[in-house]
Structures are given as C-alpha cells and as structure tokens.
Amino acid sequence: MDWSQLTGALIGLVGVPLGILFGELLRRRQRAEQFAATIFAKRLEAYDTLMNILYESHRIANEVISNPDFSAAERHELISAAIMPIAEHTTRSVLYIDDELGAHCTALFMGVEDLHDLPKNEQEARLAQFQRDWRETRRMILEDSGVIKVNRLFRDINRPRISSPVIERIRELRREQDGQT
C-alpha cells in the first residue's frame, strides 16, 4: 500500500464521523430555531396580555391616587383588585414571562393605596418613585419580550426618517431621563 491509498482511506475514516457529527449539530440547531419562533410568539402574546392588564391596573391606581374621597378600605380593595389579575397572569404564564419580572409587576402597585396617609413631602417622593417604576416596568417588558430588538431590526431594514417637533422633544426628554438614571 502506498501513501496515497492510505491517505484516502484515512480521510474517509475521519470524514464520515465528522460529517455525521456536523449533520447532527445542524439538525439540532434547525429544530431549536423551529421551536424558537413558536416560543417567541407565545412569549409575545403573554407579554401583550400582561401589558394590557398593567395598563388597566395603572388606570385603577391613578384613580386611587387622584381621589381623596376613597376610604382606606376602599383604596385597599381597589388596589388589591388591580394586583390580583397581574399575579394570576404571571403565574399562569410562567413558561413565557420571566419570574423576577413577573414578581416586579405584581409588586408594582403595592403601597399605592397608602399614599394619602403619608405626609405631603413623602407623598410626592413616593408618587415620583411610583412613576419611575412604572416607566421602568414598561421598558423591562419591552426588552424581555424582544420587542425592542425587533423594532431596532425593522428600523435598520426600513431606515425610516421619522421626525417632528414633538418627536424631537420626546427624544430630548429621553436623553435627559437617561442622564438622570
């Protein structure tokens, strides 16, 4: 046997297992990508539902904050009614919603019912903190759901020229806000 025959046999001997291994890796990756689309759609649906629940709870919280005529028991009952759907949804959607983010969303409105019982300066500070927490919650949901990356991808593809005085002011306020945090 000469070296050319041995080299051919050796290449064949090494090439076949490497080809099988490479094919298996590609097959597994393709299967993961197929599941990823389904999981992403379900995650997006779970986060969309969570955002709708949060907006309704935020409406209730604003009503509790702005109406001093509610008794302490009424405020507590309203905020509890606002929190319960969030807790139920995040528990039901545990496969798709990050558990820490779900806990944060559930706790977001806790304590809002006590704002009227605080001294004025503490009331303002707590309200400002609640508003910051609300903005941060929406940002975290957009980020964890993947919507921010998808929107950036669409912007990169389309390259839209979106601008107006209102949009420029919003961008300026966001830059200021990012500088404060």
- For residue range 45-72, what is the model confidence (pLDDT) as tens digits? 999 999 999 999 999 999 999 999 999 9
| d(C-alpha 181, C-alpha 179), whole Å | 6
Tell me, what's the pLDDT at 91?
Answer: 96
Q: Which residues of the chain have pLDDT under 50?
A: none
Alpha-carbon distances of 138 from 119, 121, 167, rounded to whole Å: 28, 26, 19
Tell me, what's the pLDDT at 17?
Answer: 83
Neighbours of 97 (CB within 10 A): 22
What residues contact 58, with CB distance under 8 A and at least 6 apart? Answer: 109, 134
Tell me, what's the pLDDT at 130?
Answer: 96
Which amino acid, residue 166? V
Contact 65, 115 (CB under 8 A): yes
> Given CA atoms 56, 60, 61, 65 in this order, what sign does their dihedral have?
positive
pTM of the model: 0.73
DSSP state of 115: G
